[in-house]
Amino acid sequence: MSTFVTRELFGGAITASTVADLVDASDLRQVPDTQEVFMYSDSTISIVVEILERVEPSDDYEAARFHFASLAHDNDAAKSDVHESSIIPHDRVGDLTPPAIVLRGRQEVTKFNRRITDTVDILMALYRVQDHNIDIVVTFNLPVETADAQGAADPAQRAEATSHFDVFARSLRINDFNLFAS
């Protein structure tokens, strides 16, 4: 059973419930100011929270697909497929955090100049902060098959991380919209 904590992101301007034992990647390497990156301590699963300029598609589902395609481009994906998308509304009184547009898909990516692709399940939540022209993109990367067999997360780890993603996506809260001030 997982122990969840409220994790402060971007100095506490955003919070979300995560498992307690995540590794903060900024303790190991440099992470851009517009990102928060975490890794699971017992697998190769990673989480990226990114603050981006709002993309053009006004349709929420198309905007999520745009971010998924952009990630595929950045990953030099040989193949990418969206499996499903939905909106998770929230009912928290006084919370102005926009609803999450959730997308689940898969990408075939080549890492470290290898010829064999890795298969990665992508769980993405998009929060469109219209008043500030910002998109917040949360991505859970779940390696399914890797060129290095030890790099893949096993089915139980992926199932658990999928459950964690759902908790994260439903709990994300913007506490200070001044984070987005230009």
pLDDT of residue 130: 93
The predicted model gives 120-145 an average pLDDT of 96
Does position 129 have pLDDT exceeding 80, yes or no?
Answer: yes
pLDDT in tens, 79-127: 999 999 999 988 888 899 999 999 999 999 877 666 778 899 999 999 9
How does the average pLDDT of the chain come out, rounded?
Answer: 92
pLDDT in tens, 51-86: 999 999 889 999 999 999 999 999 889 899 999 999
Q: Which residue ranges make up each domain of the chain?
A: 4-180
pLDDT in tens, 148-182: 766 788 899 999 999 999 999 999 999 999 999 86
The predicted model gives 1-24 an average pLDDT of 94
DSSP string of 129-182, one letter each residue = EGGGTEEEEEEEEEEEE-SSGGGSPPHHHHHHHHHHHHHHHHH-EE--GGGG--
Dihedral over alpha carbons 85, 159, 48, 74 (to 10 degrees): -70
pLDDT of residue 141: 95
State which CATH number among 3.30.70.270, 3.40.1000.10, 1.10.10.60, 3.40.80.10 fits the domain covering 4-180: 3.40.1000.10
What percent of the chain shows pLDDT beyond 90? 77
Among 137, 146, 95, 141, which residue's Cα sits nearest to residue 122?
Answer: 141
Q: How far is CA 67 from CA 3, 21, 139, in A?
A: 30, 28, 10
